[in-house]
């Protein structure tokens, strides 16, 4: 229920923000007006003593959210992917949120597993460890399957986590409504939409069948990628509240000393991680949306192993082509082409000046390319690019923001392994290969072939559809204007049918 009973939760939240020194930081991030600021401080200040203390060594906002618990931690993590909402500084602070909480008892985890798979844990697993990791939503145990001896990771949702999250999400909705009511200026940031996005992400993560599905799809897409591995989903031992994957043994990507001791080439690993990410984003349109060091291991054979598939990004084929052309244009310093691509894709309103936009893009690119290779940052370029496009009226695209945020994370991982890595040199072959395969004559032929397949399915219905529209257009209409519109639609449909038919024939001949 999203009613006034949520006020107590919000008072506790405000008290914690006030005690951690984060109240002004949060109000600034959401561009709160004077009315909202007065209301927030009036509600929170008298109850500061009720707020959780948190860890004083953390930045204020991170400290407060960590102290408030799982839903707030997850909310902060998701907001870190939305600098368009909270600003770059706040997004940067929220990236370091600690997703490490005390584990719940192993006996409870075993009961959850038994309930989910319908068999006693001891009959399925010959061993089942204490928790090896505990996060806001779930914890992980290492186990051995009794029948095969295979070592696996068993992820189990926290008991009652769904109910707890629903309560907090209701409070978030209530807060968003109050923010919109008290601060009309904040409506530009669409607080209700932000909470709705958060709810969708979290509810997806609270069904581990969806994460299992994402892991399986990601594994299928990357099966042929050399030097990359995704643990196998054990479907018979997975369900809504339990997910079982093959155990990933390796060195954490952040442990540079151990990687050196094991004899791995860090420069090669850094380049491979960047190229893998670009391949997944451009080639597959499906990428790991949380590819930080904690979700990557280096196997004994040098493979990069990815896990934790709760946040995945998806980009449609058209957007991938646009993104690749933008990157390629920057690599070649062809700022006019980068500007044209933005206009062609409709990212920038058509009434803006394309030459002026190209000049603005040059001002973004030239200083960066003038830097030493170790300082050239693709993440910085993307951040500047979004600043420019916002100035020129580009609407926010959530999928590109997640891509940008993940690019920042991946670049950070790569530079940890090789501080002198030239990001652009490493990424250029991937982008050029994608352009070669997906922009140009070869891509056109492939698109025509796909169009022919659609025509093959709907072709028999087109003559009847065109006939119905022609008959409708010749019937008396309430006004000449509507009759003219009907005739236009009919002729457009006939023209489209002819064009599609020709396209199908050409595609058939080419294929």
Average pLDDT, stretch 315-333?
A: 83
Most confident range, picked from 310-314, 398-402, 472-476: 310-314
pLDDT greater than 60 at residue 492: no
* Res 30: pLDDT: 62
Residue 313 is predicted with a pLDDT of 87
In 10 A of CB 308, how many CB atoms? 22
Does 269 or 67 have the greater pLDDT score?
269
Percentage of the chain beyond pLDDT 70 is: 69
Q: How confident is the model at residue 1 (pLDDT cuts 50, 70, 90)?
A: very low
Residue 454 pLDDT more than 70? Answer: no
Distance CA 11, CA 17 (A): 10
Mean pLDDT of 237-254: 93
User: Positive or negative CA dihedral for 265, 267, 272, 277?
Assistant: positive
Q: Which two tokens stand for residue 197?
A: 């996005």
pLDDT of residue 79: 72
Rounded to whole angstroms, the Cα distance separating 279 from 294 reads 21
Mean pLDDT on 267-271: 94
> At residue 507, does pLDDT exceed 80?
no
Cα atoms in the 13 Å half-sphere on the side-chain side of 381: 25
Least confident piece of the model among 177-186, 294-303, 375-384, 478-487: 478-487
Helix (H) / strand (E) element for 106: namely helix 106-117
Residues 6+ away with beta carbon under 8 Å from 288: 218, 277, 280, 295, 306, 309, 311, 312, 313, 406
Beta bridge partners of 127: 144
101-110, 163-172, 458-467 — most confident range = 101-110
Residue written as token pair 């006019």 = 336
Stronger pLDDT, 393 or 376, i.e. the higher one: 393
Q: Is the pLDDT of residue 382 over 70?
A: no
DSSP assignment letter at 228 = E
The pair of structure tokens assigned to 351 is 């009434």
Instruction: State the catalytic residues.
Output: 290
* Band of pLDDT at residue 438, cut at 50, 70 and 90: confident
Helices and strands (H, E) in the chain, number of each type: 22, 10
User: Is residue 216's pLDDT more than 50?
Assistant: yes
pLDDT at 179 over 50: yes
Spell out the residues 6+ positions from residue 458 whose beta carbon is closer than 8 angstroms to its own: none
Alpha-carbon distance values, 440 to 337, 347, 437, 505 (Å):
15, 21, 8, 20
Out of 35-39, 394-398, 464-468, 497-501, least confident range: 497-501
For residue 216, give both structure tokens. 């399986």
Bridge partners of 242, per DSSP, are 156
CA-nearest of 25, 93, 13 to 54 is 13
Q: What angle do CA 387, 388, 390 make, to 5 degrees?
A: 65
Q: Edge-to-edge, what's the strand order for the sheet holding 138-145?
A: 125-134, 138-145, 151-157, 242-246
Per-residue pLDDT, averaged over 457-463, amounts to: 68
Average pLDDT over residues 409-415: 84
User: Two tokens at 356?
Assistant: 């002026």
Tell me the range of 31-45, 139-153, 300-314, 438-452 where mean pLDDT is highest: 139-153
Which of these, 134, 70, 74, lies nearest to 108 by C-alpha position?
134
- Percent of the chain at pLDDT > 90 equals 27
């Amino acid at each position: 229920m999203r009613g006034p009973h949520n006020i107590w939760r919000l008072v506790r939240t405000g008290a914690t923000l006030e005690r951690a020194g984060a109240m002004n930081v949060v109000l600034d991030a959401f561009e709160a007006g004077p009315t909202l600021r007065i209301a927030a401080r009036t509600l929170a200040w008298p109850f500061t003593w009720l707020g959780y203390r948190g860890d004083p060594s953390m930045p204020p906002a991170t400290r407060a959210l960590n102290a408030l618990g799982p839903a707030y931690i997850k909310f902060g993590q998701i907001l870190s992917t939305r600098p368009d909402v909270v600003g770059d500084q706040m997004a940067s602070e929220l990236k370091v949120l600690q997703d490490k909480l005390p584990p719940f008892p192993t006996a409870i985890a075993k009961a959850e597993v038994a309930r989910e798979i319908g068999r006693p844990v001891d009959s399925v697993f010959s061993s089942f460890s204490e928790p090896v990791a505990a996060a806001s939503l779930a914890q992980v145990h290492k186990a051995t399957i009794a029948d095969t001896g295979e070592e696996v990771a068993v992820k189990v949702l926290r008991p009652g986590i769904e109910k707890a999250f629903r309560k907090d999400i209701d409070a978030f909705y209530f807060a968003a409504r109050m923010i919109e009511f008290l601060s009309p200026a904040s409506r530009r940031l669409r607080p209700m939409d932000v909470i709705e996005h958060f709810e969708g992400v979290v509810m997806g993560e609270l069904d581990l069948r969806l994460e299992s599905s994402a892991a399986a799809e990601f594994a299928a897409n990357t099966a042929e990628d050399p030097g990359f591995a995704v643990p196998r989903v054990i479907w018979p031992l997975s369900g809504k509240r339990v997910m079982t994957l093959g155990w990933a043994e390796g060195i954490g990507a952040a442990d540079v000393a151990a990687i050196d001791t094991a004899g791995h080439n860090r420069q090669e690993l850094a380049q491979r991680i960047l190229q893998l990410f670009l391949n997944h984003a451009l080639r597959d349109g499906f990428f790991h949306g949380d590819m930080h060091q904690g979700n990557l291991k280096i196997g004994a054979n040098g493979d990069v192993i990815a896990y934790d598939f709760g946040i995945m990004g998806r980009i449609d084929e058209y957007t991938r082509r646009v993104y690749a052309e933008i990157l390629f244009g920057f690599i070649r310093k062809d700022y006019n082409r980068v500007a044209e691509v933005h206009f062609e894709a409709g990212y920038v309103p058509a009434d803006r000046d394309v030459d002026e936009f190209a000049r603005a893009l040059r001002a973004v690119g030239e200083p960066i390319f003038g830097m030493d290779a170790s300082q050239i940052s693709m993440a910085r370029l993307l951040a500047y690019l979004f600043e420019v496009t916002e100035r020129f009226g580009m609407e926010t695209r959530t999928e590109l923001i997640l891509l940008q945020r993940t690019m920042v994370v991946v670049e950070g991982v790569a530079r940890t392994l090789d501080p002198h890595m030239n990001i652009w040199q490493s990424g250029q072959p991937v982008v050029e290969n994608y352009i070669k395969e997906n922009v140009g004559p070869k891509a056109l032929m492939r698109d025509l072939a796909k169009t022919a397949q659609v025509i093959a399915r709907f072709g028999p219905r087109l003559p009847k559809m065109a006939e119905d529209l022609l008959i409708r257009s010749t019937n008396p209409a309430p006004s000449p204007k509507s009759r003219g519109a009907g005739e236009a639609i009919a002729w457009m449909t006939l023209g489209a049918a002819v064009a599609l038919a020709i396209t199908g024939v050409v595609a058939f001949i080419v294929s």
